[in-house]
Structure 1
Amino acid sequence: MNIKKFVDRRKELRISQVKMCEGICTQSTLSKFESSGRVPSLVILTQLCTRIGLTIDDLNSDEISSTNQIQKQLDTAERQLAMGDYQTVLQTISGIDEEQISPIPLRIQFYYLRGMLNALINRAPEVVLYDFSQILNDLDERHDTIFSQLAYVGSGLTYIRKKQFERAQFYFCKVNDFIKTQLERPQSDDDPRRDDLRLLTLIFYTAYYYALQDQLTTSDELIETGMNLCSIKHVTYYLPRLKFLAAENAIREKQEKTQVEDLMTEARVFANLNKNQIITVKLAALRNRYAKGLDLQDLVP
């Protein structure tokens, strides 16, 4: 990030640090940004840039090529994560140099993806929570973006694995309330495809959480919400996983055999459509256990 460009513009306009931060942030926040490169939250930096007629992109103009490449890698990793392909996500994320990520939105996306991946592959809690703390306590400290909600989900998954269910409940209740609020709002035209994918991520893992807690009615309602959103927005990445979770719930609810088999068939169809081999393998195992009348293994998202 070209902080010198920011400082030069402020001085060119003869705006003092005190005047610059009025109504936006503390002078200490601005001073740390200008002197030591400590980047404030996205909201604050946007407001500061606007005050002197710049955009965040202006500060990153020398890094556009690298930034575009990193953006493509992160978007690819996010789609892979939606399909449950954790090994490929790990390879993609490992190929990104964290030090080369300057734009705040990309840094937030990077910390979310790495944190969520680490939560799902059961890395040490302190490793997982470090990435989410970068979002919640620094880059999105006002919790203005959907990434804070995604960080809540990842934190909740981590506490589930630590068997600290009350702490997990705290996070998933917040996310469930957010989901309801989002579904009641008019749709935004700003990057709708990726926002829908992230909302589906919230819906899927919250449905998984409630299934894990044997609150199957709530889980089923969220699954139905997710499938409807997939249909309306033509986003299919989560359909195999939602159908698979619905089949697991149906087995636990002792629904009719035809209903369970229909859900498993639909999960297989969507898995084939999305070339999701992971769900295909999990379905084969689920069918085998169901046919033999065996108890389901612990749910794994």
Structure 2
Amino acid sequence: MNTEHFIETRKRLSLSQEELAQGICTQATLSRFESGGSIPSVKILTQLCHRLGLSIAELFRTQADSRGEFINDTLNQAEFDLIISEYDHANQKLDELELTEEENEQFGERLDYIRGYLAILLGHHVQENIDGFHAKLLDSQTEIDIYTLLNYCGLGMGYAYLGKDQLAEKYFNFVFIHVFDFQSTSAGETWKILTILFYTAEFYSSSNLAISNRILETIVSMCSDNHMTFYLARSVLQLAENEAAGEANKTRLVNYLIDAHAYAKINRNQVELQRIDYLIKKWHLQDLAISSIFDN
């Protein structure tokens, strides 16, 4: 039983043993429990946990469980930072992790793809990370899984950054063909599919607006179906940029910006909010009455 978590919670709430035990059990009973001695009755333990705002189940989590939760929470935060373009903060979170060999077996693929994407997006050691994605694919199983698709997408991102668009398109095309065959079984996998689709759409925005728009509209639909807002701001803003690069229908352009601004505010996506402000000025939309929305 994880009595350390029990003790840490009591101390965090500034409760003495006497205060916690009052009306439930003797201080001696509580002291024996905290010192690793006898476990009190279920009734007493339930009341003590209730006073601390804990569930009994939390006390049965092992240190390994707690460590796994910490790693998973850190990777979740880094993935979210990747989504909202907070790349430096994502790297700071990942720097907190030093995985053991056993932990690397469980979390290594996820950590590596996030690190690789961040490095390419920040322009750090791009060729080295391209080589890393190639190595991952050589070592991977023949069956296509979510990390296979993420590695192919990473190669596309890397080659696009280096200006090798033909190579980049080869890998993005592979992703585009196969990602829709992948059946997501969790919210985490859906996040990853949205990530793959977004960077594929971003790549095609410079060469084929029709394909890019189709992918972005798919992202918006998937976000709506799965009640996820995280990629909405970036996807709708990319639709606005595609609109500006193509027919530039001003009404449609402004509507995209309004929607992107709303989604960015929901997700506290400061990077996208700043970019929206920049694009309003760049596209000379300040004079529109509708622009007052962005001041709120």
TM-score (norm 2): 0.71
Map 1:206-285 onto structure 2 (within 5 A).
206-213=200-207, 215-285=208-278
- In the other structure, the counterpart of 1:29 is none
1:145 is matched with which residue? Answer: 145
Deviates more, 1:141-150 or 1:269-278: 141-150
Aligned ranges for residues 148-187 of structure 1 at < 5 Å? 148-182=148-182
Shift of 1:141: 3.6
User: Segments of 4+ in structure 1 off by > 3 A?
Assistant: 61-65, 98-101
Q: Please state how far the C-alpha of 1:97 moved relative to its aligned partner.
A: 1.2
Tell me if structure 1 keeps the 8 A contact 2:78–2:94: yes
Q: CA separation of 1:62/1:136 partners in 2, compared to 1, >3 Å: closer, same or farther?
A: farther
2:130 maps to a residue whose letter is L
Whichever residue aligns with residue 176 of structure 2, its letter is: N
Alpha-carbon contact 2:198-2:219 (below 8 Å) kept? yes
- Structure 1: state its 5+ residue gaps: 1-60, 294-301
CA offset digits 1:250-270 (Å, max 9, x no partner): 111123211101101110000
For the structure 1 residues 261 and 281, does the alpha-carbon distance in structure 2 shift closer, same or farther, using more than 3 Å as the test?
same
Matched, 1:86 2:87: yes
- State the aligned residue count: 225
Checking the alignment, whether the CA contact within 8 Å between 2:116 and 2:129 is kept in structure 1 is: yes
The CA deviation at 1:154 is 1.3
Give the CA RMSD over aligned residues: 2.1
The residue that corresponds to 2:13 in the other structure is none
| Structure 2 partner of 1:194 | 188
Distance 1:223 1:271, change over 3 A: same
Distance 1:143 1:155, change over 3 A: farther
Q: Identity, % of aligned pairs?
A: 25
Distance, in Å, in 2 between the alignment partners of 1:280 and 1:274 is 10
Q: 1:110 to 1:134 in 2, by over 3 A?
A: farther
Residues 78 and 134 from structure 1, CA distance in 2 versus in 1: closer, same or farther, beyond 3 angstroms? farther
Tell me if structure 2 keeps the 8 A contact 1:67–1:101. no
For structure 1, which segment, 284-293 or 82-91, has the greater mean C-alpha deviation from structure 2 after superposition?
Answer: 284-293
Alpha-carbon distance between aligned partners in 2 of 1:99 and 1:229, rounded to the nearest angstrom = 36
Partners of 2:268 and 2:143 in 1: how far apart? Answer: 35
Amino acid of the residue matched to residue 239 of structure 1?
A: L
Whether 1:75 aligns to 2:76 is yes
Measure how far apart 1:155 and its partner are. 1.2
Post-superposition offset of 1:67: 2.4
Q: Cα offset for 1:99?
A: 4.3
The alpha-carbon deviation at position 130 of structure 1 amounts to 4.3
Which is greater in Rg?
2
